[in-house]
């Protein structure tokens, strides 16, 4: 398996490149519009063909590059099937393997941050990897106060779907805001201040409901834009329009 973790700094979003060494096919999990050119160059440098972009959920903090990459490479767009977005080419759901050449990803339905959120597990003979999107972060978790979020659902998703994985499973989150890169299920069960150490569901829900977090600065254009696979809405503020105005040629 070919693997790269790539960062988009403005939203602290991790994009993950997963490739098959035999077929040279690859996917990008949660690609960001701002880093299209970098991602295309990485694929070229590695001699890989992008076959699909794969989203964990409809993001509120950045625009996906799914549509732009489809236009540039001919790849397909994959979203959680339950969304039924007109722009998605592939619908993924728990119980149906998503293949990249000889690499298999297993979708895990993990609602709570949003009502359609999915994580993706890769189970190799050597190591297990889980890409947790905005559900489980390193010593944190995604917020639950918009996009049909639910603290109770998130608690259940993390404890029933993620914390039930083997302790040695590596955790690759959708974001990190403190320059951390990877964790493990064992570490999050022991050290996550919101979810670990045996914290109960009622306590967790009270904690999440009391966070009083600021309104996401990009949500008003990011959510509708991402529901169109990364099409830039007309109301994108000027300071964020740079990636939207970039040429689709080249």
pLDDT at position 248 is: 44
pLDDT digits (tens, 9 = 90+) for 86-137: 999 999 999 999 999 999 999 999 999 999 999 999 999 999 999 999 999 9
Mean pLDDT of 189-204: 96
Q: Are strands 90-92 and 76-80 parallel, antiparallel or unpaired?
A: parallel
Domain membership of residue 11 as a residue range: 2-242
Q: Could you tell me the pLDDT band of residue 140, with boundaries at 50, 70 and 90?
A: very high
pLDDT digits (tens, 9 = 90+) for 143-175: 999 999 999 999 999 999 999 999 999 999 999
Tell me the C-alpha distance between 125 and 196, whole Å: 27
The answer as to whether 250 is a domain residue is no
The CATH number assigned to the domain holding 27 equals 3.60.15.10
Residue 137 neighbours by CB under 8 Å, 6+ apart:
173, 174, 175, 176
Q: How many CB atoms lie within 10 A of CB 177?
A: 10
Q: Could you tell me the pLDDT band of residue 245, with boundaries at 50, 70 and 90?
A: confident
The answer as to whether 249 is a domain residue is no
Q: Could you tell me the pLDDT band of residue 249, with boundaries at 50, 70 and 90?
A: very low
The answer as to whether 247 is a domain residue is no
As for how many domains the chain has, the answer is: 1
The answer as to whether 8 is a domain residue is yes
Q: Is 113 exposed, middle or buried (0-12, 13-18, 19+ CB in 10 A)?
A: buried
**DSSP 8-class letter at 149:** -
Q: Could you tell me how many residues make up the chain?
A: 250
pTM, two decimals, is 0.97
Tell me the C-alpha distance between 133 and 30, whole Å: 8
Q: What angle do CA 125, 176, 172 make, to 5 degrees?
A: 10
By the 8 A CB rule, do 30 and 55 touch? yes
Helices (H), 169-227: 185-191, 201-209, 219-226
Picking from 89-93, 195-199, 229-233, which range would have the lowest pLDDT averaged per residue? 195-199
Tell me the C-alpha distance between 128 and 40, whole Å: 27
Tell me the C-alpha distance between 157 and 241, whole Å: 35
pLDDT at 203 over 90: yes
CA distances (Å), origin 13, targets 98, 110, 167: 22, 19, 25
Rg, C-alpha atoms of the chain:
17
């Amino acid at each position: 398996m070919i693997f790269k973790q790539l960062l988009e700094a403005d939203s602290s979003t991790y994009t993950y490149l997963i490739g098959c060494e035999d077929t040279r096919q690859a996917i990008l999990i949660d690609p960001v519009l701002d880093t299209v050119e970098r991602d295309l160059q990485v694929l070229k440098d590695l001699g890989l063909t992008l076959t699909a972009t794969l989203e964990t959920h409809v993001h509120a903090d950045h625009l996906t590059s799914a549509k732009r990459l489809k236009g540039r490479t001919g790849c397909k767009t994959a979203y959680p099937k339950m969304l039924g977005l007109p722009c998605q080419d592939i619908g993924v759901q728990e119980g149906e393997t998503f293949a990249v050449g000889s690499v298999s990803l297993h979708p895990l339905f993990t609602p709570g941050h949003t009502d359609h959120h999915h994580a993706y597990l890769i189970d190799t003979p050597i190591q297990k990897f889980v890409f947790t999107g905005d559900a489980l972060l390193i010593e944190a978790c995604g917020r639950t106060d918009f996009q049909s979020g639910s603290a109770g659902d998130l608690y259940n998703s993390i404890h029933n779907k993620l914390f039930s994985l083997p302790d040695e499973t590596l955790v690759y989150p959708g974001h990190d805001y403190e320059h951390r890169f990877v964790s493990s299920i064992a570490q999050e069960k022991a050290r996550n201040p919101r979810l670990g150490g045996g914290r109960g569901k009622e306590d967790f829900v009270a904690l999440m409901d009391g966070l009083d977090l600021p309104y996401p600065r990009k949500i008003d254009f990011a959510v509708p834009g991402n529901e169109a696979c990364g099409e830039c809405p007309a109301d994108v503020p000027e300071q964020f329009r740079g990636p939207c105005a970039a040429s689709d040629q080249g």
